[in-house]
Amino acid sequence: METVFYPIKKSVARFDSRFFSMNGDCLYYKNGTSRDVVARFKYSAQKRKRKSWTKFLVDNFTVAEYFDHKASGMAPTHILETKGYNAYSEMASTAYESTHHITDVNSPMGVKNV
């Protein structure tokens, strides 16, 4: 019996993490012969969330679905929020606190409150 291969419909093509690349503060996805901008991570706090953001994108969206939303004018984070992504999760706030000195304003000389 001969194996029959059916072409994958564009609407069900999943993101493949091998085709993501960063250049400066932009995340790109190589989609066939074109290289499309997926999102821009302008600030350092956003850059720290890039891996979790990209993982959520890969796990929850098809290529066509994401770029259709983006073509309609939605912001990248708002697109992910349509499926439950929380940009301001507890993990994000914990990462912020671990990288910044938290001081006690009532202590003399603003001693770090550990």
Residue 77 and residue 69 in contact, taking contact as beta carbons nearer than 8 Å: no
Predicted TM-score of the model (pTM): 0.64
* CB 56, CB 85: distance < 8 Å: yes
User: Among positive and negative, which fits the CA dihedral 38, 44, 47, 52?
Assistant: negative
Residue 69 lies inside a defined structural domain of this protein: yes
Examine residue 29 and state whether it is found in any structural domain, yes or no.
no
* Residue 38 is assigned to a structural domain of this protein: no
In the chain, how many domains are there?
Answer: 1
Amino acid (1-letter code) at residue 80: L
The domain in which residue 65 lies consists of 45-110
Q: Is 86 among the domain residues?
A: yes
Ranges of residues in the chain with a pLDDT under 50 are: 5-10, 90-92, 94, 104, 112-114
Which residue shows structure tokens 């706090």? Answer: 45
pLDDT value at residue 77: 87
pLDDT digits (tens, 9 = 90+) for 2-17: 555 444 444 568 898 8
Query: Residue 5 falls within a domain, yes or no?
Result: no
